[in-house]
Structure 1
Amino acid sequence: MRRARSLAVVGMLLAGALGVISSTQTWIDVTLADGAQQTLAVPGSDAVPVLTPLSLAALALGAALSIVGRVLRYVLGVIALAIAGVVGVATAQVLFTLPVSATAATVSDATGISGVDAISDLVSSMSLTPWPAITLLAEVILAAAALFTLVTARRWQGSAGRKYRTSGDASTDASRPHDAIDSWDDLSRGADPTT
């Protein structure tokens, strides 16, 4: 089950990284009906404001998943599933309905005009780039990694943090062979592992 933990961690890290990268890329090209036909590039962080912080959270969850114990695996899996749901729904709204509200922050910064109705009157056309679809795929990967974690976490081996426990916590399990880490732990406690 060592491979299961690795797959879940890599899935969460990949999804988080794609989300962070996507938040800096252009999602929507907006052409304004202002006489000059000015075109503005709307980044993912403006189209979906929660994209950057929740993608960073997914990265942190993936890193933490590699060292936590059994109970926290389930907690992190549920949190990752919630993040995938929130960002996935917001991304799907942009991808399938292309609302003017997704461009509001960028258009307001460029023109000083605010309000969805005023911005709707100012926008003559909008076109999507591939980044919303890539982000939606990343959220599907995150949801799959979260579900995989919830299904398989019970069968994963002990946490990687086992080697950092104090001598009172690190008792050698008789059901498994004595390995190199156990030998180092014995040496740290003052016992000669070669005898």
Structure 2
Amino acid sequence: MLRRARMMAVLGFLLAGAIGIISSTQTWLVVERSDAAEPLLIAGADALTLLAPLSLAVLALGAALSIAGVMLRYIFGLLAAGGAIVLIMGTTTLLFGPPLSAAAKAVAEATGLTGDAALYDIVDAIVPTAWPAVALAAWAVLLVASVFVLATARSWKSGGRRYRSSSEAQHHETGPLDAVDSWDELSHGTDPTDSAR
């Protein structure tokens, strides 16, 4: 299992981030109105303003985690865990009792009314769809993946030689240079044909 730890963690991050991005464009809340007008549909990004940016950040962390060194793995794991907790709290609120504030902007735009009293009068109910539950499951996966990263990061195999710094590469190199190594040496200003090395 530890051999595949990196892959499992990266997939957990990418899955959660992708579900977050997809769900941000889907209907999270349906606002039923007392004036018998059509219900208002509120997308995830409007209901939870941090949804899209944090989902993008999770995708970026997942991509970076695939090549990160030990210290960065711990940092990325902590950042992802913090993001997961924030998203879990926000999504839980919308799923189990959406506040009027989550729909206030959409209702105000649709009706021209402002102020809590006017909004309370026109809003009969705010009903969550299935998307907040789907997103909540994704945040749970993200939290588990983050804890898994923190627990196993030190035991992961190191990235390939192309992701090491030049000083690390010099210490770990044994044997003749291949074409990729030669190009890397040239890009660092070193002549790979210098026999004094």
**TM-score between both structures, scaled by the size of structure 1:** 0.85
Amino acid at match of 2:150: L
CA gap 1:117/1:142 in 2 versus in 1, 3 angstroms: farther
Could you tell me which residue of structure 2 aligns to residue 23 of structure 1? Answer: 24
Distance 2:181 2:62 in 1: 31
Distance 2:14 2:29 in 1: 26
Equivalent position SS for 2:168: coil
Distance 1:8 1:56 in 2: 16
Equivalent position SS for 1:38: coil
Superposed CA deviations along residues 127-153 of structure 1, whole A, max 9, x for unmatched, are 221000001001001101110000000
Superposed CA deviations along residues 101-160 of structure 1, whole A, max 9, x for unmatched, are 211121112112223332121111232210000010010011011100000000011134
Could you tell me which residue of structure 1 aligns to residue 141 of structure 2? Answer: 141
CA gap 1:166/1:76 in 2 versus in 1, 3 angstroms: closer
Could you tell me which residue of structure 1 aligns to residue 189 of structure 2? Answer: none
Output the aligned Cα RMSD.
2.3
Structural mapping, 1:4-19, within 5 Å: 4-19=5-20
Structural mapping, 1:85-104, within 5 Å: 85-104=85-104
Equivalent position SS for 1:67: coil
Could you tell me which residue of structure 2 aligns to residue 170 of structure 1? Answer: 169
Q: How many pairs are equivalent?
A: 185
- Stretches of structure 2 lacking an aligned partner (at least 5 in a row): 186-191
Could you tell me which residue of structure 2 aligns to residue 128 of structure 1? Answer: 128
Structural mapping, 1:35-74, within 5 Å: 36-74=36-74
Amino acid at match of 1:21: I
CA gap 1:32/1:15 in 2 versus in 1, 3 angstroms: same
Contact 2:67 2:163 in 1 (8 A): no
Equivalent position SS for 2:37: coil
Residue identity over aligned pairs, in percent, reads 46
Post-superposition offset of 1:166: 5.8
Contact 2:34 2:122 in 1 (8 A): yes
Superposed CA deviations along residues 63-90 of structure 1, whole A, max 9, x for unmatched, are 1101111101000000000000001100
Post-superposition offset of 1:167: 4.8
CA gap 1:116/1:56 in 2 versus in 1, 3 angstroms: farther
Distance 1:154 1:166 in 2: 18
Distance 1:113 1:81 in 2: 39
- Stretches of structure 1 lacking an aligned partner (at least 5 in a row): none
